[in-house]
Structure 1
């Protein structure tokens, strides 16, 4: 819901997103990794309302450093606990809304059940969907950005649907089901329909006005010139496995870490100053805080206690690199590929 958002929203701590979702009538949302981008206190402020402690009131995979005082528990016991509590209150129709998703991009999707219930679904979400207490009728998942509608068998052997829609509002899942006289979901009636959101949908005046209001408030920052380049530097949109933007960001982070002696790794296996890595040598590595805290599976970095720097964000490093090394008469060219040697894919 918040975090990982465009400048238009991120610049104002995602209050524009909350404003838009409230107008759309959003009633409930799960908490995911990006909800903790600015820490639990900021998430609580988003939920309860109030001004940002530093910036005041706007005009109108989690960084470990932000959640050191937050406990995350195994999902299955938590689901069981609250399912029993709901059952005691007489609630029979139970749906789990969870920010956990399919582990492999596009693995599920169409034909998820070809070969058996949830045959193409994998990862932690499948385990949760299969093992959650039988009282749970339906699982609505998230995180992985790609849609799927799959069925699994619950511990009692009954059919249970697990779904997710595409990220960034590209689609939504239309869920329909019947309730019996006891108020429980009739599993055989559960239907999930994938609904893409076409880009040529007519603009809604009220929402368009809201977007343009926040866009106007962000113009000064969005239009600020911080540097010059000779051509686009695509990242996710690149057709190359070694992206130009990734290489440029790496150079910016190395430059920011130079005062502490950091340098970038060279291609041809892994070499520094032309020499192969030695397990008996101590090296300094420049990287962003998310990876330094063990994010994206780089768990060894999280175990390292000898650290220097940390005052400069990756965005600050990029802006400084552009401001100090480029100009209108001397723009930066996209870094040439070849730093990384792919030995297997």
Structure 2
């Protein structure tokens, strides 16, 4: 296999998609009170309705946390039955998310949200995250076997005020978002989303979608969702602007720059950039730098840099897949000639 020196740079792309009619859990443009939604802090995390940023309208839900085992809980006063949607593998739970950045002025209420609704008994909840992260984008894996999901609580009162909202370089530090779903039968399921692989759209909002059938443990619940908890692997503030189920049948497409063919001298370095389009799917970018020994994964990431250290003809292959393996992937090849 081609020996190379590879460096990775996080990148983003804008993705379009084709969606059927949505099943809405939280819609932008209306207050959470109007939607019979409550918010409650988990651990030392905070959550509140905010006017700092809005996907549509004037408000969103702001969540601040320090790690994956604290954050904020969105509670649905009228639990949402996703049992009918679960049977279709194209149905995805889609979130509109924005990470706070240094250009934002954080305002609104701090230290808590509305009183919470009654919580379930505080059992162990879902287990820790998978160990080890993906290469390329530098995702840091969360420790497995750690404490579980958010505990239940009595009828909510005011919640603690720490941590304060943070907007310091969140886009560079938050790699993985953890979401814990609690259903009316008291069971919990969880999912992890690699933020660096989500598509960024207008005004900094990202659309991230997770197939319902890929949510760990959701198949063993009654699928009537009463709350969703948000946390992540770094001290961060995020905004949730929309939560809904969409039927996403968008085919994955792939492209690269440069496109090739490339004519290089021995020792030249080349930076390849991948572009993936797959609706709201979280995409994964894999690279093979020498097809002659079979297609495997030499690197992962949207932007990779390689130095060619031996002469010859090479075929570089980009493969774009969805993170959860439910869609047909797409690939592109680049012909490279390295002169002695």
TM-score, normalised with respect to structure 1? 0.24
Which of these two proteins has the greater Rg computed from alpha carbons? 1
Task: Give 1 or 2: higher helix fraction.
Answer: 1
TM-score, normalised with respect to structure 2? 0.24
